Amino acid sequence: MGRKFAIGLAVFAVLGVAGAVLFQKPIGAWVFGRAVEANASRDTAAQLDDGLHIGLCGTGSPMPNIDRAGPCNIVIAGKQMFIVDVGEGGARNISLMGVNAGDADALLLTHFHSDHLDGMGPLMLNHWIRGSNAAPLPVYGPVGVEAIVYGFNAAYATDDTYRTAHHGEEVAPSAGGGAEARPFEMEGDSSVILESSGLTITAFRVAHEPIDPSVGYRFDYAGRSVCISGDTIRSPNLERVCTGADVIVHEALQTAMVTQMQETLEAQGNANTAKVMFDIKDYHTSPEDAAKSAQVAGTKMLVLSHLVPPLPSSFLYPAFLGDAEDHFDGPIVVGEDGMFFSLPANGDTIEQSQLM
């Protein structure tokens, strides 16, 4: 009886495979159609309750990592949306997370290292076409952002004319392509750069020499707050400005791991890359120091991002964290692309989900 059942099951499996191959084209078309319907109607922001929301559209670094885009963060406050930094692959992930870049009110840059802005081109295009925006994407940053925006606009100017000629003014208004620089001066160690509909955005200085200025951002809305560190060593100014924040999204470099990479590269005779590994240790924050900052600031949750070195598996997370959990009383999350955190208005909970 058992043998007959096994034979019958095998025959059924063979027939199933044969049927799938025979009808692959119509089955594939049906599956594709269902996927198109599901994704075309997806609008993450429209489904959110009032509050402050943070999405990780990129948690990587310049080191290659197939699972992580360059530094990129989405902040949604009520009906307002901002992107903080947009590294390579960040614009792609924004779309994969079901967020419409056409709805972005602005891009905020923490500093002008290439890995924090080399996704600007696709973001400008998506902001323009997906939103049929008649005005360029505002780009806030310290003084000097004008040159960055000018360069991207120059690079994309010819393509912009093609898009309008092909899709027409209704979809691609000729005045809406590119970006517009919104530079701000840092007066002291922190400065409010935007107040709108109950949202306050504060830029604050961090230490990332020789880059100057380099800033982080604090967002306050509906009784909730989040800080994004930008690139920095441990920063007393961040600890001061971010006091009481619900969430700190902080960059992190595990010194022991990078030192191991440096020593291996030196042994293999790769002096240039070994020198880079040596140099980057002096202007980033270890997970342990990020945890100490979170404890001093009294934040509820620490989320680590801009991870160095690449982590191809979550199995490596404990080694990456080192002793960080000994220095912070709250939860520490090793950030992954697609993570999303919701802070309901005037509450104290933090809800975590995965959007891709």
Which residues are catalytic, by number? 115
Cβ neighbourhood burial of 96 (10 Å; 0-12, 13-18, 19+) = middle
Contact 300, 332 (CB under 8 A): no
Cβ neighbourhood burial of 201 (10 Å; 0-12, 13-18, 19+) = buried
Q: Which two tokens stand for residue 180?
A: 């517009």
Contact 76, 52 (CB under 8 A): yes
Q: What SS3 class is residue 81? A: strand
Residue 42 makes CB contacts below 8 A (sequence gap 6+) with 98
Residue with tokens 């099951």: 9
Closest CA to 55 of 83, 74, 76, 82: 74
Residue 303 DSSP class: E
Q: CA 60: distance to chain centroid?
A: 9
Q: Measured between alpha carbons, how far is residue 41 from residues 37, 45, 187 in Å?
A: 6, 12, 44
